[in-house]
Amino acid sequence: MQGSHDLGLVALSYLIASLAGFVAIEFASRMRAHPSGRIPWLIGGALAMGTGIWSMHFVGMTAFSLPVPISYDIGITFLSWVAAILVSALALYIVGYGQLKHWTLAVGALVMGAGICVMHYGGMWAMRMDPGIAYRPGLFAASAAIAVAASGAALLIIAYLKEVRSWRDIAMRVGAAMIMGVAVCGMHYTGMAAAEFVDGAFCFSGNQLPAAMLPVPTTVGALLILGFGIAFTLMDARELSLARRAERERDVRVQTLAFVDRETGLPNRARLSQLIVDRIRTRTADGFSLITLRVEGSDGSAPTPGVMTSLLERIQRNLPGAVVARTQPEHLVVMVDGRVDDVTKRSSPLIEQFAREFAADGRYRFTTNSAHCPSDGNNAQWLLLRAAPKSTMAEHFAPPVAPAQERSQRRA
């Protein structure tokens, strides 16, 4: 007895199988993203994925027609659905807990393949035909081999596609789901091709599920379950992505607070120390200098932000390429590359101008000091200490970098 297939229902069965594959990938990702809450995702994923695979099977079964009425035993049909759920739970458990190793892949593929065969051939058995269905050995073995291979491929795909970071990752998941759909359908229709129906065979009259009643409710139910499952996982993925973005922004803010002066946005002392260490490692033979400019009120108060901003703008305009940091409310530290005499030549006119302006103003005291690397040392903290203006300094101006002989005399 020969049967035929409805190509529209065959295409629909492939769509359901592909959606079930996508659900499997998404739920496995959610399990990895929520290590402490995997069980709900495991249960939900097994129900959605298993129902999708089972629905694909029965839509594919109803796509097949015989010259006699077809019906199914409700108890056996239910057990085939349970088999699909258990297979899906096993797949999600393997990829959701721990790493996928060779032996877990092999054992998982074999057990899953066996479960899929139980679901498929159990569903065929639910027809309870008399005489019973016979199977061609070659195609029967081929369907079992496809089930095992498809299970192994599904495990590898689900384990590999861990996170979505771009549209490329989404496209890969869709493509992987379509491949899984081909594998599942390949097993099903190979198993159908293996079946041989004896002329005059008929389904058991006590079967409670007529085949004609299954396509619409099975399809609608499967699409609803898979659709809700996909929507739920995508919403969770979006919430997790937003949470990670907020965490990164908090980290950036913490980094900013730790290494940036709040008022000016300049590097603070901690960041300047890092920059000095980096510059020490990569410096040229000419080295670099640190010039500290200290501005404080005549009563010892800190300068206003406007004073420091004006000072900063003029430094950046007259010493392009220099790194400027604010190590204290009243301290600006300028890091300038070059030899001692070159740095002196470049910075002295500007510092002398500052000294004259602050001396004429009378509201602020201006002091400065400097240190050169490697002449004054190769340590960030030591260089900052050497460049710090002395609190007892009475002059309004001190040269930023003295000639080598004069510097030696000053240190002595």
**pLDDT tens-digit profile of 265-312?**
888 888 889 899 988 888 777 889 899 999 988 887 888 888 888 888
Same domain, 277 and 405: yes
300 and 196 in a common domain: no
> What's the CA gap between 153 and 133, in Å, rounded?
30
**Which of these, 20, 25, 37, 40, lies nearest to 159 by C-alpha position?**
25
Q: Give domain status of residue 260, yes or no.
A: no
Question: What is the residue-wise DSSP string for 329-389?
Answer: TTEEEEEEES-HHHHHHHHHHHHHHHHHHHHHH-SEEEEEEEEEETTT-S-HHHHHHHHSP
Statement: residue 401 has pLDDT above 70: no
Report whether 94 contacts 100 (CB < 8 A): yes
77-124 pLDDT tens trace: 888 889 888 888 888 887 777 666 788 778 878 887 888 888 888 888
Measuring CA to CA, how many Å separate 11 from each of 64, 129, 412? 13, 26, 93
> Is 9 in the same domain as 74?
yes
The 10s digit of each residue's pLDDT in 33-71 is 777 778 888 888 888 888 888 888 888 888 877 778 888
Shared domain for 34 and 128, answered yes or no, is yes
Shared domain for 173 and 76, answered yes or no, is yes
* Distance between first and last Cα of the chain: 113
263 in any annotated domain: no
At 240 the pLDDT is 74
d(CA 251, CA 230): 31
Q: Rounded to 5 degrees, what are φ and ψ at 165?
A: -115, -15
Same domain? 207 vs 166: yes
Q: 97-118 as b/e, with b when 16 or more CB fall inside 10 Å? A: eeebeeebbeebbebbbbbbbb
Residues 343 and 231 in one domain: no
Integer CA distances (angstroms), 320 to 313, 338, 342, in order: 11, 13, 14
Number of domains the chain is built from: 2
| 253 found inside a domain | no
User: Residue 255: inside a domain, yes or no?
Assistant: no
Nearest to 312 by CA among 327, 325, 298: 325
pTM comes to 0.57
Residue 321: give its domain's CATH number.
Answer: 3.30.70.270
Shared-domain flag, residues 144 and 290 = no
Residue 1's pLDDT is: 54
- Tell me which residue range forms the domain holding 376: 269-411
In a domain, 261, yes or no: no
Give residues with Cβ within 8 angstroms of 370, minimum separation 6. Answer: 289, 290, 291, 292, 343, 387, 399, 400, 401
**Is it the case that residue 178 has pLDDT exceeding 80?**
yes
Which residue in this structure is represented by tokens 């960041």?
271
* Domain assignment present for 8: yes
Report the C-alpha gap between 197 and 227 in whole angstroms: 36
Instruction: Provide the pLDDT confidence category of residue 164 given band limits of 50, 70 and 90.
Output: low
> Is residue 331 domain-shared with residue 186, that is, in the same domain?
no
Model confidence at 334, pLDDT cuts 50, 70, 90, reads very high
One domain, residues 86 and 211: yes
Per residue in 193-245, pLDDT (tens digit) is 888 888 878 888 777 778 777 778 888 888 888 888 788 777 877 777 787 78
Paired strand residues for 325: 333
Claim to verify: residue 307 and residue 194 sit in the same structural domain: no
355 in Cβ contact with 396 (< 8 Å)? yes
Same structural domain for residues 203 and 154? Answer: yes
Residue 87 lies in a domain: yes
The answer to whether residue 256 sits within a structural domain is no
Q: Which residues contact 179 (CB under 8 A, 6 or more apart)?
A: 21, 153, 157
